[in-house]
Structure 1
Amino acid sequence: MKKIETFENKKVLVLGLAKSGEAAARLLEKLGAIVTVNDSKPFDENPAAQSLLEEGIKVICGSHPLELLDENFELMVKNPGIRYDNPMVARAIEKNIPVITEVELAYMISDAPIIGITGSNGKTTTTTMIAETLNNGGQSGLLSGNIGFPASEVAQTATDKDTLVMELSSFQLMGTDIFHPHIAVITNLMPTHIDYHGTFEDYVAAKWNIQKNMTAEDFVVLNFNQDLAKELAQKTAAQVVPFSTTEKVAGAYLDGDTLYFKDEAIMKASEIGVPGSHNVENALATIAIAKLSGIANEAIKETLSHFGGVKHRLQALGEVNGIKFYNDSKSTNILATQKALSGFDNSKVILIAGGLDRGNEFDELVPDITGVKLMVILGESAPRVKRAADKANVPYVDAKDVADAARIAYGKAEAGDVVLLSPANASWDMYKSFEVRGDEFIATFEAIKGE
């Protein structure tokens, strides 16, 4: 960890806790800052705030009082989920207080080079694939960032022998100024989080921040399946390394059933340990970064062949009586479910879908669910999902929750079938998070297996 003096005796406000806020507060205190933490959750229900107070850090909980910003703060470190139109953030900007996210802090102190991964879908899988490939190839890849390990915490113990493999959301990237990864990948760009960003153009601009400080000595890996990526490739100082499943490019590409890097065959697409065309794209991005990092082909092939997926992202749970179960609870939008379905024979799939009603119809899903054996539908959005099922001529049944849906699906399935939880919806109508939803599916599978 670099011993920087940037924050010594400077008043810093950490807005919002969760894992990243807690890590940022502790790091700033260690760097000599005068730290105040402000979180909306009441103190009595806030173990993180209680812990920080015990360590001597000032905490203000239960609300976001605007008058707090009259205390001459020189910096605000914002939780990524807090929007820029939040009154506290807006007032800070009015007062010319810089607003950053904790990944900027991580960069400032890190002795380790950074590989940054962002995109609309596939971030977590690709981040995990890259870290595992580096580790299997004799290097040290440390998972960090939006994947559940606060970057500013991981960076404190990383050395120049490590590499921070950092998943980055658009929210985090908006709060960067000097952040500078050596290699960056954008898996894909789709219209999502528009409620936060306002327009797709602003969302893309936030993602594109990942490369804004890159030079000709750095690399940006882009998905040339998308024309947008080809346009962006013209607007960076970094060396562009493309990947594609549809054309031969000067990077990683699919030709027939073989994955190549610059005309060098690496492995068969059919050998990738997780199904789906989207995972071929994720594997190509991983291959590009692995080759740029000097990883041997054998280590790349071995890692990707044995890759078992990420929890809640098309996670293979196993099988009971010849019926396979896949947990794809992290599919909280239509595109993610489309990608999940691409890896299976629809005639063998019993799809569990539905969740939070965001007011959108599911017509885009109709071609992808056509031919599905059965849908088990649940949640607030059930009427809308059923309309799509009707248009696709797919039979469906209702379920009251995920556990009920898993049991119904198992009861209707035959040997050779797949029970796939891929909701195409957020979880918040019934569950605190997609993780809780997925954990219920896993627990039900384990119960069925033990009966």
Structure 2
Amino acid sequence: MEFKHKTILVLGAGVSGIAVAGILQKHGGRVILNDAKSASKIQQDFTFLERCGIQLIFGRQDESLLADIDYLIVSPGISIHLPLVQTAKALGITVMSEIEVAYRLCRAPIVAITGTNGKTTTTTLIGDMLRTTGRDIVVGGNIGAALSKEVETIGANGLVVAEISSFQLEGIINFRPQIAAVLNITPDHLDRHHSIDLYQQTKEHIFKNQTPADYLVLNYDDEKIRPMAERAAAKVMYFSRKEQLPQGVFVQQGSFTIAWDDQTYVICPVADLKIKGAHNVENVLAACGVAFLAGVEPARLAAVIKTFQGVEHRIEFVAGINGAEYYNDSKATNPESSIKALEAFAGNVILIAGGRDKMTDLAEFTGLIKEKVDQLILLGEAKDRFRAAAIKAGVVNIHTAPSLDEAVILAHHLAKPGQIVLLSPACSSYDMFANYEERGKTFKNLVRKLG
């Protein structure tokens, strides 16, 4: 019982912070939950935590919190580079992320997926594939409930499937997945990681503790990812949408195919996949690789692929109204993800974009907007920079809206039969919504009211 009788400070009173505070208290820790925001600005009910004996300190975040602390747990929203965290390290306090806590408490092997885009779809698909084995499966991490909460329910014979973000990987120490996957690397969260190189280095933490007994699934088509094999101790399986590999997962004669240990397995035709976009072909290839290495038979992989409907908020069909189709892609929180959404459609798009700006480069995104978008509606804190970039790229028919409500109404007025109304913000949601889920649900409710 590593955490028993230890004094533990948890920074960040969000979903992960609250979950890990409760778990650590349950395991005998003396827990303090802290947030720089005042309690009145945090939309959470802390009654249960208080009843459990957890000390709550809100509205300040200073070095006095570190007195007599054994462990400092950082929530994903708290940067490892925060001065208070760096001071804790200098004092010899063990600093770790919530997923490191989950790993230390987990009895089952862990499968972990990271990358800039496609994590949720791939993680969800892997979970569905692994459930066909009859083993107990839990899915968590950056998707659904906090990982530390999810692992409490799983025994040694089960399997944990975890979507892992760069924020969560900042604070790992011993975290070691049996199978890890890196899907892609494009600029994201540069406001926190400061450079693409540091961002990539953080992503590579997912395999830094792996051994030759473990597996690492890598995107052969991504020039930043392919060389990771040279830095990995695990056995590497590549996947590729563009090339037929001598060993790995790829598309051959129009079918998903696995070549491994001198055997070739044809899974099913790519045409059987119901979800849109070339990026989803890549997600399926990665999922097939991970699930195959975890013991799922090819026929079961095919059965899941043929019935998979995708995930909420990712190019999700909402409604057809007066001949126009409306899609919710609220999970597109960076330009690269929105590019993939636009590439899924032939054109004639009315695009709603904008939110909290991550300050990523917009040249490729606005170039594709010029090619595929008939009307561009911008909102949120990013709208002025996005508008300037769109004008520079030669985009015409640019509108701004003060809210998502008014953006949807405007899109409805502009939409003609055969057009696609697409919410794909290319930004985070935090200027207007608690998270991308709330933004997506709001969009869907607004669209359904139009009908």
TM-score, normalised to structure 1, is: 0.92
Distance 1:44 1:141, change over 3 A: same
Matched, 1:146 2:131: no
Q: Quick check: 1:92–1:99 contact (8 Å CA) kept in 2? A: yes
Within 1, Cα distance between the matches of 2:277 and 2:364? 18
Within 2, Cα distance between the matches of 1:358 and 1:189? 16
Distance 1:322 1:296, change over 3 A: farther
TM-score, normalised to structure 2, is: 0.92
SS of 1:64's partner is coil
SS of 1:351's partner is strand
Once the two structures are TM-superposed, the CA of residue 394 in structure 1 deviates from its matched residue by 4.3
Question: Structure 2: which 5+ residue stretches go unaligned?
Answer: none
Q: Quick check: 1:43–1:50 contact (8 Å CA) kept in 2? A: no
SS of 1:298's partner is helix
The correspondence of residues 36-435 of structure 1 with structure 2, limited to 5 A, is 36-44=32-40, 46=42, 47-70=44-67, 72-249=68-245, 250-262=247-259, 263-346=264-347, 348-357=348-357, 362-369=362-369, 370-390=371-391, 391-435=393-437
Within 1, Cα distance between the matches of 2:254 and 2:323? 27
Within 1, Cα distance between the matches of 2:156 and 2:11? 30
Q: Which moved more, 1:401-410 or 1:238-247?
A: 401-410
Q: Which amino acid aligns with 1:78?
A: V
Q: Quick check: 2:138–2:151 contact (8 Å CA) kept in 1? A: no
Give per-residue Cα distances to partners, 1:328-375, cap 9 Å, x unaligned.
1121211111111111101x3222122334556632223322142322
Q: Quick check: 2:140–2:146 contact (8 Å CA) kept in 1? A: yes
Once the two structures are TM-superposed, the CA of residue 387 in structure 1 deviates from its matched residue by 4.0
In the other structure, the counterpart of 2:11 is 15
Within 2, Cα distance between the matches of 1:447 and 1:376? 19
Q: Quick check: 2:114–2:165 contact (8 Å CA) kept in 1? A: yes
Give per-residue Cα distances to partners, 1:386-438, cap 9 Å, x unaligned.
34444344433343322322233233333333211112223333334322321
Give per-residue Cα distances to partners, 1:127-174, cap 9 Å, x unaligned.
111112222453433111111311111111111232111011112112
Q: Which moved more, 1:430-439 or 1:39-48?
A: 39-48
Within 1, Cα distance between the matches of 2:47 and 2:38? 10
Instruction: Please report the RMSD computed on the Cα atoms of aligned residues, expressed in angstroms.
Output: 2.1
State how many pairs are aligned. Answer: 443
Once the two structures are TM-superposed, the CA of residue 310 in structure 1 deviates from its matched residue by 1.8
Q: Quick check: 2:366–2:395 contact (8 Å CA) kept in 1? A: no
SS of 2:148's partner is helix
Q: Which moved more, 1:387-396 or 1:58-67?
A: 387-396
Within 1, Cα distance between the matches of 2:359 and 2:184? 25
Within 1, Cα distance between the matches of 2:362 and 2:266? 39
Once the two structures are TM-superposed, the CA of residue 44 in structure 1 deviates from its matched residue by 5.0
Q: Which amino acid aligns with 1:356?
A: R
Q: Which moved more, 1:145-154 or 1:392-401?
A: 392-401
Within 1, Cα distance between the matches of 2:12 and 2:362? 34
SS of 1:408's partner is helix
Q: Quick check: 1:352–1:375 contact (8 Å CA) kept in 2? A: yes
